[in-house]
Amino acid sequence: MPPELGPWESVEVRTALAWGALIWLGWEWVVTFPSEYKYILKGEHSPAKLLYLSTRYIGLSAQILNQVLIAMFLRKAILGPGLCRAWFVFQSMIVQILYSSVQAVLMYRVYALYGRTLRMKAFMILVFITESVSMLSLGAHVTMSINFSPVCLVHNTPLLVLPMSGIVVATQCLVWCMTLRKRTAFEYRNHPLMKTLTRDGGIVWAVLSLFFTVAAPYAYYVRAPTHSTFTFLITLLSIIGCRLILSTHHTPMQGKGETSDVELSTQFTTSIDTDISDVISELGAPQ
């Protein structure tokens, strides 16, 4: 006999939640498309443009594909464990790609705030690679150890989800603290650009830290989540990544004639077509 389903685990509710995540992301795309057209589509080709478009349209494509998979497979009476595992891997990889994009933008900002020094470049790259490799390694072990019900519900949540959550929270705290430290020591801490960087970093830190702090322990100690968790997270990360790029572009630059060294090092965040591409190029250039 199949296990009793919780209130959020029925096929109908999961389908409705998936539609809600897709509609939310679609609405966000409609609202921000004027800025996207002005600053992204009409801009020159650059790594920043690629980063924005991939974050936006990988998220949208994944949500649309989720709807196709739900319509084709989820409503069947019995699904094989292979199909459920493949779906889980697909959603996990999309989440990892979008999360890495968000982290890249945040770390580029920190790198710029600290003067784009060789030491900071090496440190940011080390943190990024360490986090990514750790998450991929732990994620692979989690994927192989979980069991699925006939309707793709996770029977058990492995203990490894807790260190995975801890890695995300720790990295977010590191990036946020480094941004905040520069804000408190910055001579022009009331500059609109500095306020934007601090605000964006604080929002991302709060949202992602809260989500992973609550979701992972709940999944392990209370009840394993459905694929709806991934669906919601895909939408959230896609929105965060794109908003991070657009928000600083809208920041007014005051006192350009008296720009400090730190301001010069952070202006890449206000021109996503040129300046950030220089930063990305620097990351791969020998010093």
Asked whether the predicted pLDDT for residue 77 surpasses 70, the reply is no
Asked whether the predicted pLDDT for residue 1 surpasses 60, the reply is no
Q: What is the pLDDT of residues 17-31, one digit of tens each?
A: 888 999 999 999 999
Whether residue 31 lies inside any domain: the answer is no
Distance in angstroms (rounded) separating the CA atoms of residues 147 and 274: 47
Whether residue 73 lies inside any domain: the answer is yes
**CATH number for position 216:** 1.20.1070
Whether residue 197 lies inside any domain: the answer is yes
Distance in angstroms (rounded) separating the CA atoms of residues 174 and 169: 9
pTM given for the model: 0.82
Whether residue 136 lies inside any domain: the answer is yes
Q: What is the DSSP string of 24-66?
A: HHHHHHHHHHHHIIIIIITSPP-HHHHHHHHHHHHHHHHHHHH
* Number of compact structural domains in the chain: 1
Quickly state the pLDDT bin for 262 (edges 50, 70, 90). very low
Whether residue 205 lies inside any domain: the answer is yes
Whether residue 129 lies inside any domain: the answer is yes
Closest CA to 106 of 32, 159, 175: 175
Asked whether the predicted pLDDT for residue 16 surpasses 70, the reply is yes
Whether residue 200 lies inside any domain: the answer is yes
Quickly state the pLDDT bin for 117 (edges 50, 70, 90). confident
Asked whether the predicted pLDDT for residue 200 surpasses 50, the reply is yes
Q: What is the pLDDT of residues 47-65, one digit of tens each?
A: 778 889 999 999 999 999 9
Distance in angstroms (rounded) separating the CA atoms of residues 170 and 175: 9
Contact 147, 155 (CB under 8 A): yes
Whether residue 34 lies inside any domain: the answer is no
Helix (H) or strand (E) holding 117: none
Torsion of CA 111, 93, 45, 29, to 10 degrees: -100
DSSP 3-state of 115: coil
Please give the average per-residue pLDDT across 4-19, as a whole number: 70
HSE at residue 82, side-chain half, CA atoms within 13 A, is 0
Helix (H) or strand (E) holding 73: none
Asked whether the predicted pLDDT for residue 86 surpasses 80, the reply is yes
Distance in angstroms (rounded) separating the CA atoms of residues 14 and 3: 17
Contact 176, 140 (CB under 8 A): no
Asked whether the predicted pLDDT for residue 107 surpasses 60, the reply is yes
Q: What is the DSSP string of 151-173?
A: TS-BS---TTHHHHHHHHHHHHH
- Could you tell me the residue range of the domain that residue 117 belongs to? 46-251+261-282
Asked whether the predicted pLDDT for residue 11 surpasses 80, the reply is no
